[in-house]
Amino acid sequence: GENVEQHPSTLSVQEGDSAVIKCTYSDSASNYFPWYKQELGKGPQLIIDIRSNVGEKKDQRIAVTLNKTAKHFSLHITETQPEDSAVYFCAANSPETSYDKVIFGPGTSLSVIP
């Protein structure tokens, strides 16, 4: 089955700097890669996703890149703000099923220092 790894596990950046979180997946048939943000005491919230037919997707200060050959994808947050502090999870779908069963990575705790 699908396995998703994520690095780094913790990340501290100064406000205004960029943050990059990297993930790798094991199954070359995976074709859907969502990213979730989880704030303390809340459930994960989808912030951006990408499908395998594109290599990059942007939404304001957030972008995701996908390299299918290398089986890795990354989240880029520019001009970080204190409210970006949270745990971020990457995920990949498990293509052995007929529906989007999503496998989550272990998470990255991002701290933005004012």
Tell me which residues touch other proteins (CB under 8 A).
4, 41-46, 49, 89, 91, 97, 99-102, 104-107
**Which residue lies nearer to other proteins by CB, 14 or 97?**
97
Nearer to other proteins, 43 or 114 (CB): 43
Closest separation in Å from C-beta 53 to other proteins: 15
Q: Considering the complex, what minimum distance in angstroms separates the CB of residue 16 from other proteins?
A: 28
Give the contacts of 43 (CB within 8 A, at least 6 positions apart).
Answer: none
| Closer CB to other proteins, 69 or 97, in the complex | 97
Q: What are the DSSP calls for 1-57, one per residue?
A: ---EEEE-SEEEEETTS-EEEEEEES-TT--EEEEEEE-TTS--EEEEEEETT-SEE
Least Å distance, CB 15 to other proteins, is 26
The smaller minimum CB distance to other proteins, of residues 70 and 99, is found at 99
